[in-house]
């Protein structure tokens, strides 16, 4: 539902004090899709036939939706509009001029509610837009006008009337926006002081508008604003809030919110998304200072912030973000910092080609692999699979393992899955069939690409590699019909669409050993979420290492070809020594970013030239 405000004003200034302003609200939708139909017909509403000037308060010019003909008595609707709109095409709000009491506003809105299908939110927003349009906030000539007094009374009504307050945020958003655009931000603080004790939950859009105003002079409002943002789930709002707090010199709150946001994002995504403007404001706020005490504190904040990155899976989205950090180091006098980029392919024997420092390997150690294997088992059990907690870690029967029979779909899938592992595992390659088929859209081409890839894998990686193809059960039999000879050379496991297949695929790969690969573009977000929610950050980090080394990603090519990329020997993690920092970053920033697993393969080495060996 969208409101449109149409003005039917008085013809002369002399009549203003004794007439009412009529505000029309109209909505429309198509019969089938209930979407707005725009006919882009423009109209000037007035009581006489003379066209008012654009500066006249009686002038209003709107693009109307669904308007067939505009008449003196109302408007007629196009065919296809709801019956309610045809019966009542022009509900009118009669607004008395001057300062109106709460009782008067109640009467105005009650008349609308009794004669139209519109809710309080739409009506209040329409009135606010009407008053703002006809009472510009950037001029003093209307400070004592009837419209100005009406606007103030309407603001008071929204704040004081409980029913109006519940749905006031969209109306007040337009008011705050108008204040900001017209240089009247001084009017915002008094309003927010009234609202902060009355509104329990603020909409992200409303908070985003507050951020644009300079509120640092009112500590109570800032503190309340920080609290409201902290309980919001909107990550982009929190990014804006961090910049706001830094501008307001609320450094502790800004750093705390930034840290919390990093921890949340690092657990659930491939990279922590920190906007460039937030990072730039943060680094400028805590930049080098001639004051020794201030500089010591600033350096401690930034370096602890970077160390936090090194304790999680942090990847800069592109080179410019990492370069901002490098510039922060370069601005430190007498320390001779420099920066240089390199790619993972340039790493030899695990050493940085720029500084010679040992890089973090992506291959899991035996201990790390065992920890991840146990975590993978817990994730599998979490999917309501009827396997008790003594399910075998290796693929062989033990006296501790037993099958708990159940007639459910997941029970059947789990039974079939365990039997496959016990009889045919461990494997060297696990193919996420659903992911490959989804990428190609057609199964025949996907099967052709898989066959070619397995042939190349056995030729270049392991000659007698054991391969398992895991997909949904609606694909069962199709691979055998398309390529029967090839189907006999691999194992197949088909799961019900209602079954969470990520846990099956990753359990198979991880428990098959340290050298089992996974062919998939999947981000495995559900898997990461389980690790971060139910287990420890260490386990989540180990899974990122597994992805970095053993997940094979691909791009679909014409003719049933897969352009694949194997993992890297270097783990893309922020790394620090006494003389170097290494920051991984992406070069890819397109439609695939954030939708498929893309391994960062570039690094920015920030190093002190005076502390490195002369050969460097």
Q: Under a CB-based contact definition with an 8 Å cutoff, are residues 3 and 27 in contact?
A: yes
The reported pLDDT for the residue numbered 368 is: 92
Is residue 429 over pLDDT 90?
yes
The reported pLDDT for the residue numbered 430 is: 93
The reported pLDDT for the residue numbered 6 is: 28
Is residue 335 over pLDDT 80?
yes
If one compares 378 and 355, the residue with the highest pLDDT of the two is 355
Spacing of C-alpha 234 from chain mean position = 8
Is residue 80 over pLDDT 50?
no
Cα 524 to Cα 543: distance, rounded to the nearest angstrom: 10
If one compares 11 and 100, the residue with the highest pLDDT of the two is 100
User: Residue 479 is inside which H or E element, if any?
Assistant: helix 478-482
> Which residues pair with residue 556 across a beta bridge?
562
Query: Which positions ≥6 away from 521 have C-beta within 8 Å?
Result: 435, 439, 553, 554, 596, 597
* 132-139 mean pLDDT: 65
In this structure, the number of other CB atoms found within 10 A of the CB of residue 221 comes to 19
The reported pLDDT for the residue numbered 92 is: 58
Domain limits, CATH 3.40.50.11980, in the chain:
366-565
Residues 22-55 have pLDDT tens digits of 444 433 333 333 222 222 222 222 222 233 333 3
**274-to-144, 242, 298, 486, 503 alpha-carbon distances in Å:** 47, 10, 19, 46, 30
Residues 315-329 have pLDDT tens digits of 777 788 888 899 999
Pairing state between β 429-432 and 517-519? parallel
Pairing state between β 561-565 and 551-557? antiparallel
Q: Under a CB-based contact definition with an 8 Å cutoff, are residues 160 and 102 in contact?
A: yes
Nearest to 313 by CA among 544, 528, 603: 544
Ordered alpha helix ranges (H), 167-291? 169-181, 188-195, 204-211, 219-230, 235-247, 251-268, 276-285
Nearest to 203 by CA among 161, 231, 243, 244: 231
Residues 197-253 have pLDDT tens digits of 777 666 666 676 766 666 555 566 666 666 666 555 555 666 667 777 776 677 777
Cα 518 to Cα 564: distance, rounded to the nearest angstrom: 12
Q: Locate tokens 């692999």: which residue?
A: 369
**180-to-40, 173, 263 alpha-carbon distances in Å:** 29, 11, 33
**552-to-182, 337, 373, 377 alpha-carbon distances in Å:** 55, 36, 19, 22
Is residue 5 over pLDDT 70?
no
In this structure, the number of other CB atoms found within 10 A of the CB of residue 558 comes to 6
Cα 354 to Cα 562: distance, rounded to the nearest angstrom: 33
SS3 350: coil
Query: Which positions ≥6 away from 26 have C-beta within 8 Å?
Result: 3, 4, 6, 64, 65, 66, 75, 85, 89, 90, 91
Cα 117 to Cα 119: distance, rounded to the nearest angstrom: 7
Cα 607 to Cα 609: distance, rounded to the nearest angstrom: 6
Cα 218 to Cα 225: distance, rounded to the nearest angstrom: 11
The reported pLDDT for the residue numbered 55 is: 36
If one compares 368 and 224, the residue with the highest pLDDT of the two is 368
The reported pLDDT for the residue numbered 582 is: 92
* 0.75 exceeded by pTM: no
Cα 504 to Cα 427: distance, rounded to the nearest angstrom: 13
Q: Under a CB-based contact definition with an 8 Å cutoff, are residues 266 and 311 in contact?
A: no
Is residue 499 over pLDDT 80?
no
Residues 572-608 have pLDDT tens digits of 888 888 889 999 887 755 545 556 777 888 899 999 9
Is residue 450 over pLDDT 80?
yes
The reported pLDDT for the residue numbered 8 is: 31
Cα 99 to Cα 82: distance, rounded to the nearest angstrom: 36
- Sheet of strand 6-8: strand arrangement: 6-8, 21-24, 92-95
Cα 562 to Cα 540: distance, rounded to the nearest angstrom: 29
Nearest to 235 by CA among 258, 211, 209: 258
* 491-510 mean pLDDT: 82
Take residue 599 and report the two structure tokens written for it. 């391994």
* 342 band by pLDDT with thresholds 50, 70 and 90: very high
* 268 band by pLDDT with thresholds 50, 70 and 90: low
If one compares 275 and 450, the residue with the highest pLDDT of the two is 450
Is residue 385 over pLDDT 50?
no
CATH number assigned to the domain covering 366-565? 3.40.50.11980
Q: Phi/psi at 601 (nearest 5 deg)?
A: -125, 15
* 565-571 mean pLDDT: 88
């Amino acid at each position: 539902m969208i409101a449109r405000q149409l003005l039917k004003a008085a013809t002369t200034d002399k009549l203003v004090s004794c007439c009412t302003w009529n505000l029309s609200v109209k909505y429309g939708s198509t019969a089938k899709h209930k979407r707005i139909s725009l006919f882009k017909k423009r109209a000037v509403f007035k009581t006489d036939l003379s066209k008012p000037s654009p500066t006249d308060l009686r002038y209003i010019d709107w693009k109307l939706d669904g308007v067939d003909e505009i008449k003196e008595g109302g408007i007629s609707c196009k065919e296809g509009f709801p019956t309610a709109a045809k019966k009542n095409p022009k509900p009118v709000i009669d607004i008395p001029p001057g300062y109106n009491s709460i009782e008067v506003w109640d009467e105005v809105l009650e008349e609308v509610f009794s004669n139209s299908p519109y809710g309080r939110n739409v009506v209040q927003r329409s009135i606010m837009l009407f008053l703002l349009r006809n009472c510009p906030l950037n001029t003093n000539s209307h400070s004592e006008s009837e419209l100005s007094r009406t606007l103030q009374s309407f603001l008071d009504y929204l704040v004081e009337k409980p029913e109006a307050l519940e749905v006031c945020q969209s109306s007040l958003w337009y008011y705050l926006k108008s204040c900001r655009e017209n240089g009247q931000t001084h009017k915002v603080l008094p309003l927010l002081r009234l609202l902060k004790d009355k509104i329990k939950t603020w909409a992200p859009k409303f908070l985003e508008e507050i951020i644009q105003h300079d509120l640092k002079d009112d500590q109570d409002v800032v503190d309340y604003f920080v609290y409201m943002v902290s309980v919001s789930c909107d990550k982009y709002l929190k990014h804006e809030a961090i910049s706001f707090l830094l501008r307001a010199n609320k450094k502790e709150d800004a750093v705390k919110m930034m840290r919390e946001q990093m921890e949340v994002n690092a657990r659930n995504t491939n990279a922590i998304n920190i906007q460039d403007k937030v990072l730039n404001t943060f680094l400028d706020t805590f930049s080098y200072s001639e004051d020794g005490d201030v500089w010591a504190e600033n350096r401690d904040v930034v370096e602890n912030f970077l160390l936090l990155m090194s304790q999680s899976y942090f990847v800069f989205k592109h080179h410019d973000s990492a370069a901002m950090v490098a510039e922060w180091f370069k601005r430190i006098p007498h320390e001779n910092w420099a920066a240089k980029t390199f790619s993972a392919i340039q790493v030899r024997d695990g050493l940085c080609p720029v500084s010679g420092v040992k890089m973090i390997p992506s291959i899991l150690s035996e201990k790390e692999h065992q920890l991840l294997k146990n975590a993978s088992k817990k994730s599998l059990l979490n999917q309501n699979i009827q396997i008790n907690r003594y399910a075998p870690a290796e693929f062989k029967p033990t006296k501790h393992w037993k099958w708990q029979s159940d007639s459910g779909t997941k029970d059947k899938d789990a039974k079939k899955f365990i039997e496959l592992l016990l009889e045919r595992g461990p494997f060297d390659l696990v193919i996420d069939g659903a992911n490959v088929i989804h990428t190609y859209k057609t199964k025949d081409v996907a099967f052709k690409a898989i066959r070619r890839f397995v042939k190349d894998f056995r030729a270049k990686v392991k000659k007698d590699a054991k391969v398992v193809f895991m997909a949904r059960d609606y694909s069962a039999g199709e691979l055998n019909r398309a390529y029967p000879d090839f189907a006999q050379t691999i194992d197949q496991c088909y799961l019900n669409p209602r079954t969470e297949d990520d846990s099956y695929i990753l359990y198979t790969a991880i428990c098959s050993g340290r050298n089992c690969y996974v062919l998939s573009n999947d981000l495995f977000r559900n898997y990461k979420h389980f690790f971060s929610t139910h287990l420890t950050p260490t386990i989540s980090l180990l899974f990122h290492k597994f992805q970095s080394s053993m997940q094979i990603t691909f791009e679909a090519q014409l003719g049933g070809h897969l352009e694949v990329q194997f993992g890297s020997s270097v783990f893309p993690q922020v790394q620090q020594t006494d003389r170097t920092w290494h920051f991984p970053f992406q070069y890819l920033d397109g439609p695939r970013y954030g939708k498929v697993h893309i391994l960062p393969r570039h690094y920015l080495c920030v190093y002190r030239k005076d502390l490195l060996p002369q050969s460097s």
